[in-house]
């Protein structure tokens, strides 16, 4: 398996798994990552919002697997957005740094992809 394939499966499968977990909360309670200010602006429960996020993540992961170049740039942007939300909330800064590093990996996949 070459580096591009390794990145493709990583950035395809991880968002799918994380997206599915938004419905089960087996890995973590995802709503804890929403700042109180953001939760207050939602017209519905935080868990509903996280399920919507989960659907977006599943779609992004599938896109990486079938249309790698466009999927990779979407995942890179998505991870950057998540990191910025966490940075501006002032919480989970370690997760924000991790997501920025993952965004760089997804961007690398974008640059390596030709489709």
CB 73 within 8 A of CB 107: yes
Rg (the chain; Cα; Å): 14
Tens-place pLDDT, residues 6-21:
999 999 999 999 999 9
In which band, very low, low, confident or very high, does the pLDDT at 114 lie, cut at 50, 70 and 90? Answer: confident
């Amino acid at each position: 398996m070459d580096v591009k394939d390794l990145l493709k499966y990583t950035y395809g499968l991880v968002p799918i798994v994380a997206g599915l977990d938004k419905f089960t909360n087996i890995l973590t309670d995802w709503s804890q990552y929403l700042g109180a200010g953001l939760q207050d602006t939602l017209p519905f429960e935080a868990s509903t919002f996280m399920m919507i996020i989960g659907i977006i993540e599943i779609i992004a992961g599938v896109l990486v697997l079938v249309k790698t170049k466009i999927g990779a740039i979407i995942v890179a942007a998505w991870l950057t957005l998540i990191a910025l939300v966490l940075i501006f909330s002032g919480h989970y800064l370690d997760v924000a740094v991790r997501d920025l590093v993952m965004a760089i990996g997804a961007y690398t996949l974008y640059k390596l992809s030709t489709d």
